[in-house]
């Protein structure tokens, strides 16, 4: 992948994450962190939904080929998200109820599809 293609992919990813943050805020969630990174993985958005802390993976795809955006959050990706979430939670005094969501965006511009409780931490 060329440097220009990487830059374009990064820009599209940032736009999708901003769209996702606005989408969640419009539904009453409060984003408390963005792009939380550790050596083990990354969480795109961390949001508060009442008493529940929600770890959100944002996936955007131009079209549904190869299974689409939601299908790209495979077991390996889920393990990396869970590892980053555990790191985030270790910084808190008490662990709140948690949930792992996926916000998939198909097409450009695409309407987000919110999958609440998309997967569980093992």
Q: What is the pLDDT of residues 7-62, one digit of tens each?
A: 877 888 888 899 999 999 999 999 999 999 999 999 999 999 999 999 999 988 76
Paired with 42 in beta bridges are 37
Domains and CATH numbers, the chain: 3-119 (3.40.1350.10)
* pLDDT tens by residue, 63-114: 556 556 777 788 899 999 999 999 999 999 888 999 999 999 887 767 888 9
Question: Which tokens in the block code for residue 54?
Answer: 């929600």
Which of 92, 5, 105 has its CA nearest to residue 48?
A: 92
């Amino acid at each position: 992948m060329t440097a220009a293609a990487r830059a374009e992919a990064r820009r599209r990813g940032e736009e999708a994450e901003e769209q996702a943050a606005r989408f969640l805020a419009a539904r009453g969630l409060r984003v408390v962190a963005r792009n939380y990174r550790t050596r083990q993985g990354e969480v795109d958005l961390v949001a508060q939904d009442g008493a529940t802390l929600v770890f959100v993976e944002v996936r955007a795809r131009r079209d549904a080929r190869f299974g689409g955006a939601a299908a790209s959050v495979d077991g390996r990706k889920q393990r990396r998200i869970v590892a980053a979430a555990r790191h985030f939670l270790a910084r808190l005094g008490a662990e709140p109820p948690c949930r792992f969501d996926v916000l998939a965006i198909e097409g450009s511009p695409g309407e987000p599809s919110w999958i609440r409780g998309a997967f569980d931490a093992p």
